[in-house]
Amino acid sequence: MEQKLVVFDVDGVLIDTKIGGLKDILTILGKGAKVEKLEEEYQKRKKFGPWGLDELVLLYKGFSKMRMSNIATKYCEQNLMKGASEAIAELKLNDFLVGAISSEADFVVDVLARNLSLDFTCGTVLEYTNGICTGKIIEKVDRFTKAELLKKIMQEKNISRSNIYVVGDSITDLPMGQVAGRFIGFRPKTEIIEQVNFIVREKDLEKILPLLIFE
């Protein structure tokens, strides 16, 4: 039987957040006012395409990777979506490959990979010099990159489209969702409701299991 693969988005799916881990952690670091302005601008621009990642990462300039990682570790533990650990454990017991593809930063995605025992992760890679963030991006993951990364994984693992499932919640997951055989909207925003194959409205990732294991 061919391998099945589930790809999770991070913000709003694996992490219970309204504006995203990058922004939440910047707020913890004292950049709340600037984050608020960027979020307002992002809401105006998001339907037209990717925007705001470079501006957000620039605000991390001067912070140590160790401090950022320590905050991310505590943040992910406190804001892990209900049912995330249980759902992923059950999927792996049923021989699914499970991973995450997100615009979220490497220092956040790495924590989730470790805590949830994910098979693979793809996130935005930040630049550091002597352990200090430069405010620059080495590898950017935006909504379109997500789709290309998923295609690459499908080819590497030799998994057909019909056995690919994407769990997302927003317009930034749409290109990736269109690559998959099934796009599950987890508490989806209005902008993608008509584009998903299934909708889970309850804030509990275990509720996706019947759509995957017992399909």
Give per-residue pLDDT as tens, 10-61.
999 999 999 999 999 999 999 999 998 888 887 787 776 666 789 999 999 9
Sign (positive or negative) of CA dihedral 9, 10, 11, 15: positive
CA-closest candidate to residue 52, choices 39, 62, 68? 39
All structural domains of the chain with their residue ranges = 4-212
Question: What six digits make up the tokens of 110?
Answer: 């790495």
State the CATH architecture for 4-212.
Answer: 3-Layer(aba) Sandwich (3.40)
Give per-residue pLDDT as tens, 71-90.
999 999 999 999 999 999 99
Which residue reads 């990979």 in tokens? 113
- Within 13 A of 193's CA, how many CA atoms are on the CB side? 5
- Cβ neighbours of residue 67 under 8 Å, at least 6 residues apart? none
CA-closest candidate to residue 45, choices 129, 118, 142? 142
Percent of the chain with pLDDT over 90: 87
pLDDT of res. 40: 84
Q: What is the pTM of this model?
A: 0.93
